[in-house]
Amino acid sequence: MIRMGRSSKTEQTNDSAYQPKQTTDSNSLYPAGNAASNRAVSESESMARDIKEGRLSGFIGSGTVLTGETTFQAMLRVDGHLTGHVSSEDGTLIVGSTGRVDANIQVAAATINGTVNGDIVATERLELGRTAHVVGNIQTPRLLMEDGAILEGSCSMIKARETMERRIAEANAPKITNELAPFQENEPNGYFELNDDETAEAATN
């Protein structure tokens, strides 16, 4: 019997000849560089989103040096060099990985990924990224500090305790009001009513 077709040896040889070569992903050779690139892309995307949504009210680009007192609303991003004093009652300060701020900062919230030489007071929250380097004292009720961030100074979270006590008091306020409700319904003016005999006795005494 004659079998038409390729032999098993030929099939193995041809299959091995057409096997695709394994390629090495260049991204796996440079994980650190890719991490930095991804971080830069994420920062760019974040900035583009803030601009599109109208939340970014000010921007100091890389290579720009600004000196003086800076007051802003909404959000300020610093990728350059800012010196002097920075303040905002309700705003958010963002210092990029290439940003440097040599100033005392008083804002509602701050996200630091660059270098800050000065004290930071954030009345709501403060975030220190992995590339952050802060030389100064910080005061905030909420602190988020990633692995790799450097803080050379003291950290005060006294307001956090005050905020917690205020929240507890506000939470207990309705309970106290409900307990006093029956008395307030009987005495709407907040005084106890005396009858004529009790009034006469009180006047005699």
How many Cβ atoms from other residues are within 10 Å of residue 135's Cβ?
A: 14
- pLDDT at residue 134, as a whole number: 98
Backbone angles phi, psi at 88, to 5 degrees: -165, 130
Question: pLDDT at position 173, please?
Answer: 78
Q: What is the pLDDT of residue 170?
A: 84
Which 3 state secondary structure label does DSSP give 164?
helix
Q: What is the dihedral of CA 81, 86, 89, 94, to 10 degrees?
A: 20
Q: Which residues of the chain have pLDDT under 50?
A: 1-11, 13, 16-18, 20-33, 190-192, 199-200
- What integer pLDDT is reported at residue 3 of this predicted model? 35
Q: Say if residues 74 and 91 touch (Cβ distance below 8 Å).
A: yes
Parallel, antiparallel or unpaired: strands 138-139 and 155-156? parallel
| CA R_g for the chain | 33
Reference 118, options 105, 127, 131, 100; nearest CA is 105
The pLDDT of residue 204 is 54
